[in-house]
Structure 1
Amino acid sequence: MMQQQQHHHHHHHNHQHNSQIEGSSNPPHPSNSVSSVARSLLPTRRRLKLDPASKLYFPYEPGKQVRSAIRIKNTSKSHVAFKFQTTAPKSCFMRPPGAILAPGESIIATVFKFVELPENNEKPMEQKSKVKFKIMSLKVKGVMDYVPELFDEQKDQVAIEQILGVIFLDPERPSPALEKLKRQLADADAAVEARKKPPEDAGPRIIGEGLVIDEWKERRERYLARQQGEGVDSV
């Protein structure tokens, strides 16, 4: 019992705002101190659900940039920002690199990775353990624009949701993982296409990178066409 109190005191000291709520909402039971430690170490279960849950699958194509896909769902009751990090930023990136999800909302993100050529006589598939990906999460207050700086401003509130390892798949050999990857990549591509099409009645909206410029060019072309048309009429 003594240990438990000490521990609770220690916990209280670290997470004042949490422990009061924990204390009041959970009836005390013997493993209370253990579960509060577990909770402080595992805030992960609360915010995002990842599919695949702990691995990113890539087709093994040496010398090429290949893609993986991951569905990220906000399973919490508040808006959550997520951010993606990698140990190999030169050869890997994710689209989108981060976003804010409403409760229950999910997004399918695409991860791009350059596959190195195997060195010497190393077996190609042995490379997989070198690169790690990390998904971080942060609770945010309602709807806002995603900016990576959110994570710097509130460092102490950031949780590591998952560290993802890499698994290479033989693109020539059919497998359930490969089929699933193909399905998820098709979904991700469809989602990107859907985001590109601006709603008919809305004004210019910034959707993704570079799309506003395309829209601006189209408008300009329409405008010029109209100018020419009017020029002809007025002659």
Structure 2
Amino acid sequence: MAIDTEQKSPSDGKVWGIFKLPFRHTGNNTRTTPSSSSASNLYVQTQPHVEGSNHHGSAISVSSVAKSLLPTRRRLKLDPANKLYFPYEPGKQVRSAVRIKNTSKSYTAFKFQTTAPKSCFMRPPGAILAPGESIIATVFKFVEPPENNEKQMDQKSRVKFKIMSLKVKGPMDYIPELFDEQKDQVAIEQILRVVFLDPERPCPALEKLKCQLDEADAALEARKKPPEDSGPRIIGEGLVIDEWKERRERYLARQQVEGVDSA
């Protein structure tokens, strides 16, 4: 019986040894193995790269937002800058003027728009300006008579004018369809507000308006006049008309002399 007990004890030890193996393996897992340390090092090494990429993406998004918030660079300079002055004469058609100058380095087209096309119109309604070129545009408006014969000069007019610009390739004829064909490149230069002036009370704005209107009228008359003759017209291969007449007269005279001699 004692022998049987001694023979079972080794087997019991083996059984406990088998059950102890998982516990020893678990204990080994608590220690950092080379494979786990290399994996953690790989994670640490790759972590700054991920953070850097996110930072780069955020920098791009911030720069794009900053660019969108910046004001659009204007191509035109207006004088007056944001108002159109009209003499207040109820029941009459009055005029205003604005000087438009191309301050960009390329040819630029401009176009007028108004919230009251039935009572307002512009001359010219649009044009193409070379770099540094300027023009005085005249704006016509019919002033509605006030109710109860009360003056409305101090009240804000609901009529507004918008000036748009478009960069073009070079000198060309102006057509309004340019702005429809290239809508994505059209920029709003300014929205002009209507301001009425009392024609019976002189002020700097009224005097400046009169000077601009006189200059616009003079430019319009100059465009209507035919070009002056700068000298004899040249035709053909550089021959002058007067010289051609003289040569023909000499030729005819020589023919007459030869005819008399032969007779």
Same fold (TM over 0.5): yes
1:121-178 Cα distance to aligned partner (Å, 9 max, x none): 7641245331000000000011000000000000000000000000000000000000
Deviation at 1:3, TM superposition (A): 4.7
Q: Measure, in 2, the Cα distance between the counterparts of 1:86 and 1:163.
A: 9
Give runs of aligned pairs for residues 55-66 of structure 1, distance below 5 A. Answer: 55-66=83-94
Q: 1:37 aligned to 2:68?
A: yes
Equivalent in 222, 226, 233 of residue 198 of structure 1: 226
Q: Measure, in 1, the Cα distance between the counterparts of 2:135 and 2:92.
A: 26
- The secondary structure found in structure 1 opposite 2:178 is helix
Give runs of aligned pairs for residues 1-235 of structure 1, distance below 5 A. Answer: 3-8=58-63, 11=64, 34=66, 36-39=67-70, 42-43=71-72, 45-120=73-148, 123-201=151-229
- The secondary structure found in structure 1 opposite 2:156 is helix
Uncovered stretches (5+) of structure 1, i.e. residues with no partner: 12-32, 203-235
- The secondary structure found in structure 2 opposite 1:186 is helix
Deviates more, 1:94-103 or 1:191-200: 191-200
- Partner of residue 38, structure 2: none
- Partner of residue 223, structure 1: none
Give aligned-pair identity as a percent: 80
* Deviation beyond 6 Å, 4+ runs, structure 1: none
Amino acid at match of 1:115: V
1:156-212 Cα distance to aligned partner (Å, 9 max, x none): 00000000000000000000000000000001101101111121359xxxxxxxxxx
Deviation at 1:6, TM superposition (A): 1.6
Amino acid at match of 2:186: V
- Contact kept in structure 1, 2:74 and 2:189, CA below 8 Å: no
Deviation at 1:73, TM superposition (A): 0.1
Between Structure 1 and Structure 2, how many residues are aligned?
Answer: 175
Uncovered stretches (5+) of structure 2, i.e. residues with no partner: 1-54, 231-263
Q: Measure, in 2, the Cα distance between the counterparts of 1:4 and 1:111.
A: 47
Q: Measure, in 2, the Cα distance between the counterparts of 1:133 and 1:86.
A: 4
Amino acid at match of 2:187: A
Q: Which has the higher contact order (CA 8 A, sep 6+)?
A: 1
Structure 1-normalised TM-score?
0.70
Structure 2-normalised TM-score?
0.63
| Superposition RMSD in Å | 1.9
Q: Measure, in 1, the Cα distance between the counterparts of 2:59 and 2:122.
A: 43
- Partner of residue 14, structure 1: none
Change (3 A) 1:201 1:147: farther
Deviation at 1:120, TM superposition (A): 3.9
1:60-79 Cα distance to aligned partner (Å, 9 max, x none): 00000000000000000000
- The secondary structure found in structure 1 opposite 2:153 is helix
- Contact kept in structure 1, 2:153 and 2:198, CA below 8 Å: no
Report which of the two structures shows the higher radius of gyration computed on alpha carbons: 2
Amino acid at match of 2:108: V
Q: Measure, in 2, the Cα distance between the counterparts of 1:190 and 1:4.
A: 55
- Contact kept in structure 1, 2:92 and 2:143, CA below 8 Å: yes
- The secondary structure found in structure 2 opposite 1:124 is coil
- Contact kept in structure 1, 2:164 and 2:188, CA below 8 Å: yes
